[in-house]
Structure 1
Amino acid sequence: MKVNLLLISMMVVVLFSCKEKKEAVKTEVSQPALADTVAAAAAPEEVKTDTAVIKEPESIKTEEPETEAAASSSHFAFDKFPSKNYTFVKKAKLDFSSDEGAYNFRTRIQEAYASGSPDFASYYITVTFGCGASCIMGMMMDVRDGKIYGLPLGEETSCLFAEDRAIFDLNSRLFIASICKESPEDKSVYYHAFVWNEDKKVFEKVEKKDIK
């Protein structure tokens, strides 16, 4: 009888000790798991907060000061070289035989002539196009007879540092081919300027004193 009681007591002790070990293991494992879960859940909230405070810098627009040459380009003495009054009614058919080089640019000339109206020296529709780095060339077409003439543009009147090019007026025969500088830092400018001689059908060079 005493033996049975002793065995029962020993079994009870063993059972309790096993239970305590299981609970201790369960507690130790569950605590880190809980901590990992909380940290993982908190992570997106932390990223969201960081993203919310980031702001893109606002773009600041600055206006470039107008250069002296550019500002003076509209102050040429066009009225010193007036062209005759002319009431534009219709365009004559283009005459490509009037200029031996015009046919090489026939598409540009035809498009400009068809869509344009006189914009130089009362009778002429102009068209300009590139001919290389820092170079433009152009033609003008007489709406009265369709004859084509070359503008005083190209390599001879081009410059590396051009402030402006091809400046003209509907009611004037003055044509400013280019406003040039010797270097980007240079404040002084020089001009390639011409006057259209309607009687001779040629451009004649004029000096700076005549155009200002």
Structure 2
Amino acid sequence: MNVLSTGWVPALVAGVFAMSGVCTVIETKAQDMSGIKNSRLPAFADYPVNRVHKGSIRLPDFGGGDKDFKSYRTRLRDGMKQGADFAGEYHVVQFGCGTGCSSVLLGNVRSGQVVNFPRGGEEDMYLSLKYQRDSSLMIAQWASFDDESCYVQFLNFNNGAWTELSKRKVGEKDSCTNEINKNIGSIQ
């Protein structure tokens, strides 16, 4: 259980800028949901994948197209060797970058390509993810220090592009210390 489009985008990964991957998040204004119940949030079953890769695993080419991720090769290789755990052919690798800080990379176990996740680092503290192997839906919970709030964001990963489906403020930033399921339940 664990989370974009074309163009080069720098991603802060453990304090280092990596110029690689395709990342674009469509931002929308978050709604304050305190006291308001939503009719229906995106569900994993709404975003099924056509197939789950069960063949041989292809690891990244750290001397070629994935050289910007060479510093993370052990984490990526070890994670990807476990097989797909998201969107049918990706393995999500989340690792710490300091207190309350984590970064996320996705490794395609079929092609070997590495993709940045649009959230994480010092900008999105206390990042928690929820995802499934047979769905392209990624749910991310993170704290923003800009407005001292905790958000739950629903993203769809399709054809190498992330699309924001919904983003909800669930409370003050301390709300992000709750389990992600508890905060999702508070907005349903």
TM-score per shorter chain, which class? 0.5 to 0.7
1:148 equivalent to 2:148? Answer: no
Corresponding position: 1:136 with 2:102? yes
The within-5 A match list for 1:1-212 is: 77-96=43-62, 97-99=64-66, 101-114=68-81, 116-155=82-121, 158-159=124-125, 162=126, 165-178=128-141, 180=143, 190-198=151-159, 201-208=160-167
Instruction: Please tell me the residue identity of whatever aligns with 1:92.
Output: R
Structure 2 portions without partners, runs of 5+: 1-40, 169-183
Match of 1:118, SS state, is: coil
Distance in 2, Cα, partners of 1:177 & 1:126: 13
Residue identity (%): 27
CA contact (8 A) 1:131 1:154 kept: no
In the alignment, the residues of structure 1 paired with residue 58 and residue 135 of structure 2 have an alpha-carbon distance, to the nearest angstrom, of: 22
Query: Residues of 2 paired with 1:203 and 1:143: CA distance?
Result: 18
Q: TM (normalized to structure 1)? A: 0.50
Bigger relative CO (Cα 8 Å, ≥ 6 apart): 2
SS of equivalent to 1:131: strand
Instruction: Output the CA distance in 2 between the equivalents of 1:137 and 1:202.
Output: 18
Q: Is the 8 A contact 1:178 1:191 kept in 2?
A: yes
Structure 1 alignment gaps of length 5 or more = 1-74, 183-187
TM-score under structure 2 length normalisation: 0.56
Structure with higher strand content: 2
Larger radius of gyration: 1
> Per the alignment, do residues 109 and 82 of structure 1 end up closer, same or farther by CA in structure 2, a change over 3 Å counting?
same
Deviating 4+ runs (over 4 angstroms): 179-182
2:104 and 2:116 in contact (8 A); partners too? yes
Describe the superposition over 1:82-129 as per-residue Cα deviations: whole angstroms up to 9, x where unpaired: 111234121124233444531121111112222x11100001112110
1:146 offset after TM fit, Å?
0.9
- Higher helix proportion, which one? 1
Q: Distance in 2 between matches of 1:118 and 1:167?
A: 14
Answer whether contact 1:140 1:151 (CA < 8 A) is retained. yes
